[in-house]
Structure 1
Amino acid sequence: MSILEITDILGIVAFALSGYWVAAKERFDLLGAFILSFLTALGGGVLRDILVDRTPYAFSHSLPSLLVISVVLISYLFHLKKYLHFQNRTLFIISDAIGLVSFAITGAMVATQADFNFFGVILVALITAVGGGVLRDMLLNQVPLILKSDFYGSVAIITGGLVYGADKMQFMNTLSVLSIFIFSFLLRMIAYYRRWNLPEA
Structure 2
Amino acid sequence: MSEFNLVLAADILGIIAFALSGFLVGVRNNLDLLGLIISASLTALGGGVVRDVILGRTPFAFNEYYPAITVIVTIFLAFSFRLYRREQLERQWLFIISDTIGLVAFSITGALLAIEVEFNFFGVMILSFLTAVGGGVLRDTMINQVPSVLISDFYGSIAIIVSVLLLLLAQMDMINTLGVAGVAAFAIFLRLLAVSKQWHLPKLNMES
TM range (shorter): over 0.9
Give the 3-state SS of the residue equivalent to 2:174 in structure 1.
coil
Q: TM-score, normalised by structure 1?
A: 0.96
Check the 8 A contact 1:15/1:99 in 2, yes or no: yes
Match of 1:77 in 2: 80
Residue 60 of structure 2 corresponds to residue 65 of structure 1: no
Superposed CA RMSD in Å reads 1.1
Residue 20 of structure 2 corresponds to residue 13 of structure 1: no
1:79-98 map, 5 Å: 79-83=82-86, 85-88=87-90, 89-98=92-101
Match of 1:168 in 2: 171
Shift of 1:26: 1.6
The CA distance in 1 between the partners of 2:152 and 2:67, in whole Å, is 29
Of 27, 34, 42, the residue aligned with 1:31 is 34
Shift of 1:3: 1.1
Q: Which amino acid aligns with 2:159?
A: A
Shift of 1:19: 0.6
Return 5+ residue gaps in structure 2 as ranges.
none
Between 1:70-79 and 1:175-184, the stretch displaced more is: 70-79
Match of 1:100 in 2: 103
Of 117, 122, 128, the residue aligned with 1:119 is 122
The CA distance in 1 between the partners of 2:189 and 2:93, in whole Å, is 14
Check the 8 A contact 1:17/1:37 in 2, yes or no: yes
Check the 8 A contact 1:19/1:40 in 2, yes or no: yes
The CA distance in 2 between the partners of 1:187 and 1:4, in whole Å, is 22
The CA distance in 2 between the partners of 1:20 and 1:102, in whole Å, is 18
The CA distance in 2 between the partners of 1:54 and 1:164, in whole Å, is 23
Shift of 1:110: 0.6
Residue 134 of structure 2 corresponds to residue 131 of structure 1: yes
| Deviation digits for residues 89-137 of structure 1 (CA, Å, limit 9, x no counterpart) | 1100000000000000000001011110110001100000011011111
The CA distance in 1 between the partners of 2:88 and 2:155, in whole Å, is 20
Give the 3-state SS of the residue equivalent to 2:20 in structure 1.
helix
| Deviation digits for residues 115-173 of structure 1 (CA, Å, limit 9, x no counterpart) | 10110001100000011011111111111111123110001100011111111211100
Match of 2:147 in 1: 144
Check the 8 A contact 1:36/1:136 in 2, yes or no: yes
Q: TM-score, normalised by structure 2?
A: 0.93
